[in-house]
Amino acid sequence: MADPTKTIDERKTSSPTEVASIEQAPAAVLEEGSLDPVYEAKAKVLNKAIQDIGMGRYQWQLFIVIGFGWASDNLWPIVTSLIFTPVKNEFHPTRAPYLTLSQNIGLLAGAIFWGFGCDIFGRRWAFNLTIGVTGVFGLIAAGSPNFAAIGVFAALWSIGVGGNLPVDSAIFLEFLPGSHQYLLTILSIDWALAQVFATLVAWPLLGNLTCQETDTKCTKSKNMGWRYFMLVMGGVAMLMFIVRFVAFTIFESPKYLMGKGLDAEAVKVVHEVARRNGKTSALTLEDLTICDQLAPSGASAPTQSHASTALKRNLEKVNLTHIRALFATKKLAFSTTLITIVWAFIGLGFPLYNAFLPYIQATRGADFGDGSTYLTYRNSLIIAVLGVPGCLLGGVLVETPRIGRKGTLAASTVLTGVFLFCSTTATNSSALLGWNCAYNFMSNIMYAVLYAYTPEIFPTKDRGTGNAITASANRVFGIMAPIIAMFANLKTAAPVYVSGALFIAAGVIVLGMPFESRGKASM
């Protein structure tokens, strides 16, 4: 392995092959000086080690099980929206949007707890527990006796869902070679497939085994469809949990361990990943410890005991170290602020549009369901299926020169807003289907890139916290939408146009992001 404390000139005189291997490694996403020099040097060593191992069996297995988290993130909000009407018909709540509100509160709590927590107690436990929590409470929710119960269970299963992306994106990115970071975008195909799966299951269950809107005596026996649907969704989540926990061994992130002062453990993990891939790694503990020479005079690198002490201190009181690190330089602070605003705008845009769309539909004189459950679910399935090629196209565009992450994210976000505007002009179900297909296609590209680009621009030691901040902003603004729907005047088109404007504004803001991560390794 290369000695990162040497200059290029020193390496040229000592080992030309060493220089060549360093120069072939992907450049870092974050600029020089953004991070602690010791951490930065060690991160580069570990990046080089992972790049040398390459994409192999372990990463492809991780690609599959991480996909469960991506699928869960999209699946469960869809579950809530699909059961909303049958739950409302059965329980007749005074304010039905409380169901959506309870879900969003749970998503916020999950993003905060798991996102911030994985920078303190590690990625492994969060990775294994998030889907388990979702599955347990999803299954229990099927037996809800009243509206208050289903609201509570929706909040509880959402606590698990809220942690999936902040944790899973961090884990996957930290084991990927820099040359394969585009797979974080491709991973969103699971996000799109989850929508297809939910629609296919809902079609027979919710289409045939639920009360109609006009049924004034909707009893549990006549409305079992949503309960069977919850059992299927909860059962699938539990199967995902079992595969993750029993059939796959997740290692702690090497860069996370290094950030905690556990250099020896980080080296062991790298060698184990190499073994799983049928290769060997030249990384040694000395390659990391020699980087400690870059520490300022009088400072020492953290040891395992120091890391344990820091961990206990973090658990005893609120520690803002990880947050401050994301604002350590002007450029890093600017980047963190802009990406948080983007997540916030998108977090309000979609639910605001969905809350006020029924009025737009009614005022345009369209019979959007054509009175047919078959057409309703057929159209939903068509829209869902188009999300799959959107994710694949996003994976191609993020690696395209002159477009990259920023260009793809900006264009897809703006176009999502444009097509959202256009959907309000539809006067029949076919026109609405066309516009919804277009904006769902674009929104899947947008989310695929957003979920990949965001963790790439945060350093590993603070990545969970950065993911938590952006996800929390998304959830906080998402909470506002059902509140607005409950207390605002629903007979106005203004909020729908505001929603489109939010997407367009978010896309423009992306262009101001200071970091482009295409072709560069995350730190």
Using one digit for the tens of pLDDT, what is the confidence trace for 95-109?
988 998 999 999 999
Contacts of 199-202 with CB under 8 Å at 24 or more apart are 199/78, 199/377, 199/380, 199/381, 199/384, 200/381, 201/229, 201/232, 201/233, 202/82, 202/229, 202/377, 202/380
For residues 224-231, average pLDDT: 96
pLDDT band (50, 70, 90) for residue 308: very low
**List of residues 6+ apart from 233 with CB closer than 8 A:** 75, 76, 79, 138, 198, 201
The closest of 1, 98, 90 to 41, measured between CA atoms, is 1
pLDDT in tens, 327-359: 888 999 999 999 999 999 999 998 887 766 655
Residue 226: what pLDDT?
Answer: 95
% of the chain with per-residue pLDDT over 90: 46
Q: How far apart are CA 358 and CA 424, in angstroms?
A: 10
Flag whether pLDDT at 182 surpasses 80.
yes
Flag whether pLDDT at 493 surpasses 70.
no
Residue 362: what pLDDT?
Answer: 55
Q: Determine contact, residues 440/448, Cβ cutoff 8 Å.
A: no
Residue 36: what pLDDT?
Answer: 75
Which H or E run includes 352? helix 330-363
For residues 448-457, average pLDDT: 92
Flag whether pLDDT at 156 surpasses 60.
yes
Flag whether pLDDT at 269 surpasses 50.
yes
> Who has greater pLDDT, 90 or 297?
90
- What would the two tokens of residue 364 be? 């345009």
Looking at the domain covering 57-251+325-521, what would its CATH class be? Answer: mainly alpha
Q: Which of 253-262, 315-324, 437-446 has the lowest mean pLDDT?
A: 315-324
- What would the two tokens of residue 374 be? 């078959």
Residue 426: what pLDDT?
Answer: 77
Domains of the chain, residue spans: 57-251+325-521
Residue 71: what pLDDT?
Answer: 95
Q: Which of 26-40, 133-147, 508-522 has the lowest mean pLDDT?
A: 26-40
Q: Which of helix, strand or coil describes residue 46?
A: helix
**List of residues 6+ apart from 454 with CB closer than 8 A:** 169, 339, 343, 466, 467, 470
> Who has greater pLDDT, 19 or 410?
410
Q: How high is the mean pLDDT of the chain? A: 83
